Amino acid sequence: MAFALSKIQLESSAFQAHGAIPTRHTGEGDDVSPTLAWRDAPDGTKGYAVICHDPDAPLVQRGGYGFVHWLLYNLPGSTTSLAEGCAEGTRGKNDFGKLGYGGPMPPEGHGVHHYYFWVLALDKPTDLPEGLDIVELLKQLEPHLLGMNRLVGTYQRG
């Protein structure tokens, strides 16, 4: 299946869709991942992955624009939420060069950035190794993608 939006619904108790992400969840704050919850996954979903990406980052990497803040995968199909600062799943390598979540931290004076939190529903459980980057992760997941959707939050450095 191609990467296309589905009916899966993603939300957070930390911020509203297109609303400001609290400082607590940014590089200027405690740098902990926000709570996420989803519902209406496609039939046959047996696993999930979560990605947070900032397409507004002024970087060209791997042939595309933006900055990857979070890669989390190997989540079982029974998962429907992630707690703040979750320790579930397997951590991939973000564009800070670290494993796990790295919160919003746009350049000073760069204005508002948009952070896309994606949930990907998969047709099989995964057992991928820790530390994959976005290119390798998507290469592994794309053949098993049943559906996906996103929650967009914003942040501007103070």
User: Token pair of 87, please?
Assistant: 């320790």
**What domain range includes position 38?**
9-155
Q: How many domains does the chain have?
A: 1
Beta bridge partners of 68: 53
Percent of the chain topping pLDDT 70? 94
Asked whether residue 103 is assigned to any structural domain, the reply reads yes
> DSSP letter string over 106-157?
PPTT---EEEEEEEEEESS---PPTT--HHHHHHHHGGGEEEEEEEEEEE--
CATH for 147 = 3.90.280.10
CA 17-141-134 angle, 5° bins: 70
Asked whether residue 57 is assigned to any structural domain, the reply reads yes
Confidence of residue 1 (pLDDT cuts 50, 70, 90): very low
What is the tens place of the pLDDT at every residue in 14-45? 999 999 999 999 999 999 999 999 999 999 99
Asked whether residue 4 is assigned to any structural domain, the reply reads no
Residues in the chain: 158
Asked whether residue 3 is assigned to any structural domain, the reply reads no
Asked whether residue 114 is assigned to any structural domain, the reply reads yes
* pTM tops 0.85, yes or no: yes
Asked whether residue 132 is assigned to any structural domain, the reply reads yes
